[in-house]
Amino acid sequence: MVPADSDLPDPSGPSELPEVDASPSDDLAPTTPTEPRREAFPPPPARRMPILPVAIALVAILAGGALFMSGYSLGAKAAWQPGTPASEDQVFQPFWDAYHSIDQRYAGGDIDHNKLVQGAIKGMIDALGDPYSSYLTSEEYRNSLQDINGQFEGIGAEIASQAADGTQGCPTLGPDCHLVVIAPIDGSPAKAAGLLPGDFVLATDGVSLDGLTVDGAREKIRGPKGTVVTLTVQRGANAPFPLAITRDVIQQREVVSKEFAGGKVGYVGLGGFSDTGADAVIAALKAHVDAGRTKLILDLRGDPGGFVTAARTVASQFISDGVIFWEQDAQGTQTPTKAEPGGVATSPELTIVCLIDGGSASASEIVAGALQDSKRATIVGQTSFGKGTVQQWQELPGEGGAFKLTIARWLTPDKHWVHKVGLTPDIVVEIPDGTPADKDPTLDKALEVLGESARAESRIAA
């Protein structure tokens, strides 16, 4: 997953049709979209990770901005006419009383009115109790835009919030809600330092993370290349210990292409739904099809999501026509998003297997759900994360920052809502505790479904 999945603002106004979703957080270099887009990210566990599924809604990659949460879409700059509607005077009277009292009577020092307004906006968004809706300051928002392009400065780890009962997605960190590591990114400082999936991060540089959201914690962990952050880590029942990590520029590799079974099976693994990631999937699939391979594996395990537009593009490579997903807005209106023509792997002669797990969220679930409902692929693995909402970024004027708001639900082609439920694979694969890192029962099952048993890679595609 936007994960993790945000979208850039569109000056023309909010988009009407989400271009679909997706979770944990990562980073990329910002680009300016030509049209409004939504993201589908939220925050899931790493591939083959033997811990509970991550609530994509709150997974964030330690380096990028608040992104991978199921289904995002770029929003718009908005400047409504100032003033309180007459019909809401009574509702807003306590707010204005408090504001004017602070403005006229506060004696503790100078008042930063911008910070007062930003705090009020943050309070409104937080009051929704929605882990996927959040307010970011201007600086935080600029950082978040990097996530979508796959590059950021930080330690390189996917994170989420986890409650005491093991469920992910609790909104505020504290005694009953901890920051959990979903997975360190391959080649990252976090991995080199020994940070492991399932580790709890309790503090940064000696300061507790209690009271923060996942986004807020991510900002404490990120920082300029070459600087050091010391995490207080709790691993299992052991006593907490300090772990110093030197930050670096993290480049997320979104697409991996390989061959299995002596070159007879083409494999494409996708780690995030950015526009560049979708383009790389198309190129990898085309290379496999041009090479004559008729058996393909699409691996969405540990993918927290990203842009809904990218999800639509990826699904359309396999599905030639029909609905990819439905979007249901606040009024209950359902709008279909259909497949784009020209997919490179739509031939019925191609046999497709799609892999998912508890870390597959948002945009990943949009693609897997479309493949399952259309019977275009066999879904293999474990139940997915379960993020069935779409968020849109709205940039505020000046240095007002931006907020991400849940603006719709997304439904599979058969109108199933996977939120907090997840997608159930056609073939469920149990991963025993203690499975060695070099063993992959889910991939082995996929090869078996395709009529192959050898898991030897012939080579990695360029």
**Model pTM score:** 0.69
8 A C-beta contact, residue 253 and residue 186 = yes
Question: Considering the chain, what is the average pLDDT of its residues?
Answer: 81
Q: What is the pLDDT of residues 355-401, one digit of tens each?
A: 999 999 999 999 999 999 999 999 999 999 999 999 998 998 877 78
Q: How confident is the model at residue 254 (pLDDT cuts 50, 70, 90)?
A: confident
Amino acid found at 211:
G
Active site (annotated) includes residue 10: no
The whole-number pLDDT of residue 422 equals 97
The whole-number pLDDT of residue 348 equals 96
Q: What is the pLDDT of residues 9-67, one digit of tens each?
A: 333 333 333 333 334 333 322 232 323 344 443 333 333 333 222 223 233 333 333 33
Active site (annotated) includes residue 248: no
3-state SS of 59-77 is CEEECECCCCEEEEECCEE
8 A C-beta contact, residue 176 and residue 170 = yes
Q: How confident is the model at residue 128 (pLDDT cuts 50, 70, 90)?
A: very high
Domains of the chain from N-terminus onward: 255-387+410-460 (3.90.226.10)
Is pLDDT of 276 > 50? Answer: yes
Q: Distance between CA atoms of 242 and 213, rounded to whole angstroms?
A: 21
Q: How confident is the model at residue 225 (pLDDT cuts 50, 70, 90)?
A: very high
Q: How confident is the model at residue 274 (pLDDT cuts 50, 70, 90)?
A: confident
Q: What is the pLDDT of residues 226-246, one digit of tens each?
A: 999 999 999 999 999 999 999
Active site (annotated) includes residue 387: yes
Is pLDDT of 111 > 90? Answer: yes
8 A C-beta contact, residue 401 and residue 118 = yes
The whole-number pLDDT of residue 176 equals 94
176 DSSP assignment: T
The residue assigned the tokens 């797990």 is 357
Q: How confident is the model at residue 193 (pLDDT cuts 50, 70, 90)?
A: very high
Looking at 291-324, list the stretches that DSSP marks H as alpha helix, in order from N- to C-terminal side: 308-316
Amino acid found at 365:
E
Q: Distance between CA atoms of 61 and 196, rounded to whole angstroms?
A: 14
What angle is formed at CA 441 by the lines to CA 436 and CA 445, rounded to 5 degrees?
Answer: 165
Q: What is the pLDDT of residues 78-104, one digit of tens each?
A: 555 567 778 888 899 999 999 999 999
Question: For the chain, how are helix, strand and coil distributed in percent, rounded to 5?
Answer: 25, 30, 50
Is pLDDT of 180 > 90? Answer: yes
Question: Strand, helix or coil at 402?
Answer: strand
Q: Distance between CA atoms of 354 and 297, rounded to whole angstroms?
A: 6
Is pLDDT of 152 > 60? Answer: yes
Mean pLDDT, rounded, for 300-316: 94
The whole-number pLDDT of residue 48 equals 39
Question: Strand, helix or coil at 372?
Answer: helix
Catalytic one of 362, 364, 374, 384: 362
Question: Strand, helix or coil at 202?
Answer: strand
Catalytic one of 220, 387, 404, 445: 387
Give 110's Cβ-side CA count (13 Å radius). Answer: 3
Catalytic one of 21, 27, 199, 373: 373
The whole-number pLDDT of residue 18 equals 34
Is pLDDT of 275 > 90? Answer: no
Q: What is the pLDDT of residues 326-360, one digit of tens each?
A: 999 999 999 999 999 999 999 999 999 999 999 99
Q: Which of 33-47, 250-264, 413-427 has the lowest mean pLDDT?
A: 33-47
Is pLDDT of 150 > 70? Answer: no
Choose from 25-34, 141-150, 176-185 the range with maximum mean pLDDT. Answer: 176-185
